[in-house]
Structure formats: C-alpha cells, structure tokens
Amino acid sequence: MQKLIIQGGMPLHGEVTISGAKNAALPVLCAALLTQESLKINNVPALRDITTMLSLLKQMGTDITTHHASEVVLSAAALTHLVAPYEMVKTMRAAILVLGPLLARAGEANISLPGGCAIGLRPVDQHIKGLQAMGAEIQIKHGYIHAVAKKLHGARIVFDIVTVTGTENLMMAATLADGTTILENAAREPEIVDLANCLIAMGANIQGAGTDIITITGVPTLHGAEHTVMPDRIETGTFLVAATATGGEIHLNNTDAHLLDAVLDKLAEAGARIDSGKNWIDLSMHTKPKSVNVRTAPHPAFPTDMQAQFMSLNCIADGTAIITETIFENRLMHVQELKRMNANIEVEGNAAIVCGIPQLDGAHVMATDLRASASLVIAGLIAQGETVIDRIYHLDRGYESIEKKLSALGAQIRRSD
C-alpha cells in the first residue's frame, strides 16, 4: 500500500494550477446518459473517482473518448446495461447519480445501495422520495434500488434536508419529465450551478440553480453540448490553508475566489494577505497564524470539506479555536491522528477544541477519508521531522497529483510503496 513521506518545515512558495472540481465533474459525466448525442467535457480532473465513474458509464454502453488528459467525449446513444453494481458503488457513493438520468431516459434503473461511509450517514431516501413523487415505482431488494417509470412527470418536491446529490439527481431526472418540477430546500452549492449550466447547454429549461428553489420544465429530448468543469474550490482552499500554515506565498491559477468566500474570510482572520482576480488568487503569510473558530453548514456557509484542513492550521496557531461539525457525525476522526503528532485537541460531541502549540511533531499516521488525508498532509508540511501517511489512496480520489504540485512549491514530499 502506497504512503506519503513528508519532511516538514518548508514554507510553500510558487505557482499552482488548480484542477477541475471532482464534485462538479461527476454529475456532469452522468448527464451524458440523458442524450443520444455526444457530450464533450473539458477540465476533467485525473482522479480515482473519475476513473470509476467512467468505467461505470462505459459498462452501461457509453462510448468514451479521451482526446487529452482533461478532455472527455461521451456518447450514450445506446444504453445496454442499466445497472450500477455494488462493486463500483461501494468505492464511490456518487454512483447514485446515474439513477435519475437512467430513469428519465431509459425508464428503468438498478442501482446498488451505497452502504456505509467513513464520515457518517448519507441516506438516499431523499432521492427515492423525489423520484416517487415524479411517478417512479421503486422497490429495494437484495441491496439494490429497482426503479421503473414509463414516463416521469413534474412534481413539487420539498427536501427534508439539504442534499447536494439529491438535488443533482432530481434536477437531471426532471429535465426529461412531463411538465414542471419544483425543488424546494434545494442545495445551493456552486457544483449545482455548474451542472445546471451543462444541462442548459444541452437544451434543458432550468431556473433558480444556486438558490433554494429550482424550477425545471421538462423537454422531450436533450442534445449534445460542450461544457467546461468549474475549478475545484476545495483543492483551492486546501492549498491556501497549506500556504497559510507554513508561512508561505503562493499564486493559484484556474480558480475563482467567489467560489469560497467563507474560506477566504477565515484565512484573512488567521492573518493571511489575499488578493484575487478573474481566475487567480494570491496568498502570502508572514506572521504566525491566529486561531479561527469554524462551524460547518451548507453553502454559502463554511464547507464541511474544509473543516479538517483548518483543524491542522489551528494546531499551530496562536490561541484556542472551536471547530464545530454540523454536517457529518463522524467527521472528526482525523483528531486522533493529529494527536499522534502532539496536537492539543479535545472533542466534545460534534465540536473539537484546538489549543495551538508552537510545533507539531512528525509521526506515522493513517488517513481515514479524503479530507482527513489532506489535513494530515498539511500537518506533515508544518511538523518538525518526518511524517509518514498511510492509506493515501483517499488522496487520489480528490486531489490530482498533489505531491507533484506541492513539490513544485518547495515541499519535501514523496510517494513510496
């Protein structure tokens, strides 16, 4: 099993190009199932989850052509296998996103239930409730969702909880439904807007994406289109936190400061100097960081996917910070690994109290999930001595060539078997 080895203590300096957003690319790839024509997608990141999704779509009968590293053309003219098997879904919960498009276009879908998740429950009941309201007959047997619908129809759907994948699934399904669908208490994340932009380019009629009420008027068919995936706001935030924690100075290309206002506000509060333009962000840090309190909540509030990275920053900041996780019940598992590096953290319920100390110590640690692994990388960059991170396959799910990008910024980091 591969691991990362980091020699800490080096400030990050230099320039990095941010990759396309994984959480935007995955639903956009699934949108290809909605049309018989070709969908060309640019700025697709090279990640494990993307590879898994492409394999799943290919298994369903989609022709896939890769012209270069970040450009993919998909053609789902003939859907031959309307199943998402457990073997694929268990490694990538986003596979549930094929449910809505398959049901809308082919009238049938058999999708394995996603099962457990390290960071907490991610129920799919909101997906099922919404599709049933649109006329689908759904049964759950032997761990699979069996869904059938001769023709979906419009409906008013009020989500019990804010769900990003639920909003995406029902928005895609509604594009081909008869009549108008209204999604209330919808997720407002930028990735929702990115998917809506792709669907609109394909001929969909969607209004309100980015607000909590999205209205979709169904059309008979969607056509081919070309779409460029938005930059990854979480990768952007991760590099900015790493530069802040190490006292560095970096320039990020192919990104958008408007995608992460809450994160930039917290970095400025910690003492970072930030400047930005149309597709770039500069950050410089010349003082010891100040502790910052963080409370996660749905967009546009502070994102849960940046909570772990800020915990590493707070470990060596001046003062004491309280980090409160409100989205996932098990998303503080990185605390025990950071404590192995001498961090002063106590957990009380869904909150972590972090008392800053002068220096973390390098140690052998284990990544428990994608964002926890990013927090351990940041901790390794600021620690004294060598840090070894096991189970780094989590990183490959969401960060494209992270050790190469960090090496280009001066970090002493390498991958080892």
**What is the CB neighbour count within 10 angstroms for residue 299?**
21
Give the CA-trace dihedral at 322, 252, 286, 272, to 10 degrees: -40
Residue 344 and residue 358 in contact, taking contact as beta carbons nearer than 8 Å: no
Both tokens of 407, joined, read 């090496």
Q: Catalytic site residue 117? A: yes
Measure the CA–CA gap between 300 and 204, rounded to whole angstroms.
25
Burial class (CB in 10 A: 0-12, 13-18, 19+), 240: buried
Q: Which of 30, 117, 198, 315 is flagged as catalytic?
A: 117
Count how many Cα atoms sit within 13 Å of the Cα of residue 333 in the half-sphere of its side chain: 18
Alpha helices in 350-400 (DSSP H): 370-382, 393-398
Both tokens of 219, joined, read 């059309």
> Which residue reads 């962000």 in tokens?
281
Residue 376 and residue 367 in contact, taking contact as beta carbons nearer than 8 Å: yes
First to last CA, the chain: 6
Amino acid (one-letter) located at 401: S
Measure the CA–CA gap between 19 and 16, rounded to whole angstroms.
9
Residue 97 and residue 168 in contact, taking contact as beta carbons nearer than 8 Å: yes
Cα angle: 129, vertex 135, 138; to 5 degrees: 55
Positive or negative CA dihedral for 235, 236, 238, 242?
positive
State the catalytic residues.
117
